[in-house]
Amino acid sequence: MSGIVPAPIARQPWQMLFPLIVLIGFGALVLFSAAAGSWTPYASSHIVRFAVFLVMAFVLARFTRELAMFLAFPIYAIVLVMLVAVEAIGFVGGGSQRWLDLGFMQLQPSELMKPAIVLVLARFYSTLPIGMIPTWRALVPAAGLILTPVALVLLQPDLGTSLAILFGGAVVMFAAGLPMRWFLGAALTGAVLAPVAFFFGLQPYQQKRVFTFLDPESDPLGDGYHITQSKIAIGSGGFSGKGFNEGSQSHLHYLPEPHTDFIFATMAEEWGFVGGLVVIGAFAIIFAWGLSVARGSADRFGKLIALGMTATVFFYVAINLMMVMGLAPVVGIPLPFMSHGGSSMLTNMICIGSLMMVHRWNRKAPRAGLIR
């Protein structure tokens, strides 16, 4: 930690920031191509947003543990209120009520709920007396904290985001040491209830998406179109791709949403398997760092936040990549750090900021055998 690099810079988590900047830069290049070789409207705003949110993440990283503990419940409450407000006054956009018009920007409160649920659950379990972990008192309040926003988001309806919230919450509960049999039981119940939920809980368009996912070739020009075209884009890229700005699938508009949900396909067409490995590898490094931050944390609060935030970003990446490769149904989830879009960038940078925050706590109070 000595040398020509000043200490405040040197102590930043470069093993995470470097792949993150690679992803952002790579994303900007792909967006440049997706706009038919233009910095506007996607690529430049992508970079500007990242810069703004990176500053926000650094600010977030300065928060102390006590402040984070103190703010956990209020933040959760505020986001919950916003979710209710979305139901009440949110306007209809894209077939569901998701956005809250704040005047200066359009906010999607369900996005904010993803880090908020991690924060509040970490707060809850970190203060829950250890002895109560295997009892119902560890489960019921947490379940309430998770299911309330999930229910609100489902009402919008937004299946993808509600699953993301559920996933983030479940991972925190899992890491908090709740009895394994509960999870097994929940998994079993889920398996039994899934068909029921599918036929009675999902909207017809969602059901259709699932059917299409199971057999995309059944309707290649209709609902299977997205998956089919995405696979064509990835498949035709081959090992090293068609070359920068040479992707016919995206440039000729065969690929739907080439700058948001299907940006990975846009990238893979032009950069090939090599580009895909770079993206997957960069994410792997970031997640590995996130897990190491979690393991390196000295207290439960930090551990749970770090793991939960990592899991939240991972959920985005995993679902998006599975979707574009035809392993999951089409759900409107963008690829973090590459897709164009403010709300998802905000959420993901909050997660990164939180991880940096825990990372900073760790450096101040490293986990050591004797010190608690």
Per-residue CA distances from 164 to 158, 178, 313, 331, 336 (Å)? 10, 20, 9, 11, 13
Contacting residues for 195 by C-beta, under 8 A, at least 6 apart? none
Pairing of strands 96-101, 106-107: antiparallel
**Does 252 contact other proteins by CB under 8 A?**
yes
3-class SS letters over 165-215: HHHHHHHHHHHCCCCHHHHHHHHHHHHHHHHHHHHHHCCHHHHHHHHHHHC
CA-based R_g, the chain, Å = 21
Could you tell me which of 93, 106, 97, 209 has the C-alpha nearest to residue 152? 97
Out of 160, 168, 224, 272, the residue judged to bind other proteins by CB under 8 A: 272
**Does 276 contact other proteins by CB under 8 A?**
yes
**Does 214 contact other proteins by CB under 8 A?**
no
Please report how close the Cβ of residue 205 comes to other proteins at its closest, in angstroms. Answer: 21
CB closer to other proteins out of 75 and 317: 317
Out of 95, 235, 243, 366, the residue judged to bind other proteins by CB under 8 A: 235
Contacting residues for 9 by C-beta, under 8 A, at least 6 apart? none
**Does 238 contact other proteins by CB under 8 A?**
yes
Out of 207, 322, 332, 365, the residue judged to bind other proteins by CB under 8 A: 322
The beta-strand segments (E) located in 6-131 are 91-93, 96-101, 106-107
Please report how close the Cβ of residue 109 comes to other proteins at its closest, in angstroms. Answer: 27
Question: Among 80-88, 102-110, 234-242, 335-343, which window interacts with other proteins (CB under 8 A)?
Answer: 234-242
Please report how close the Cβ of residue 348 comes to other proteins at its closest, in angstroms. Answer: 16
Out of 211, 248, 342, 365, the residue judged to bind other proteins by CB under 8 A: 248
Out of 179, 222, 243, 366, the residue judged to bind other proteins by CB under 8 A: 179
Residue type, 195: P
- Residues 329-367: b if buried by 16+ CB within 10 A, e if exposed: bbbbbbbbbbbbbbbbbbbbbbbbbbbbbbbbbbeeeee
Map residues 101-140 to x or -, x wherever contact with other proteins holds by CB under 8 A.
-----------------------------xx-xx------
CA angle 189, 184, 126 (to 5 degrees): 115
**Does 291 contact other proteins by CB under 8 A?**
yes
CB closer to other proteins out of 50 and 301: 301
Question: Among 89-97, 113-121, 251-259, 344-352, which window interacts with other proteins (CB under 8 A)?
Answer: 251-259
Tokens of 50: 């990242």
Please report how close the Cβ of residue 108 comes to other proteins at its closest, in angstroms. Answer: 26
Residue type, 140: V
7 touches 1 (CB < 8 A) = yes
CB closer to other proteins out of 193 and 327: 327
Element containing residue 43 per DSSP (H, E) = helix 43-61
Contacting residues for 123 by C-beta, under 8 A, at least 6 apart? 69, 72, 73, 301
**Residue found by looking up tokens 């057999």 in the block:** 215
Q: How many residues of this chain interact with other proteins, rule: CB under 8 A?
A: 53
Question: Among 104-112, 157-165, 269-277, 331-339, which window interacts with other proteins (CB under 8 A)?
Answer: 269-277
CB closer to other proteins out of 107 and 227: 227
**Does 305 contact other proteins by CB under 8 A?**
no
**Does 329 contact other proteins by CB under 8 A?**
no
**Does 49 contact other proteins by CB under 8 A?**
no
**Residue found by looking up tokens 């119940």 in the block:** 189
Which residues are at the interface with other proteins (CB under 8 A)?
A: 130-131, 133-134, 171, 174-177, 179-181, 184, 229, 231-239, 248-249, 252-254, 268-269, 272-273, 276-277, 280, 283-284, 287-288, 291, 294-295, 300, 303, 307, 311, 314, 318, 321-322, 325-327
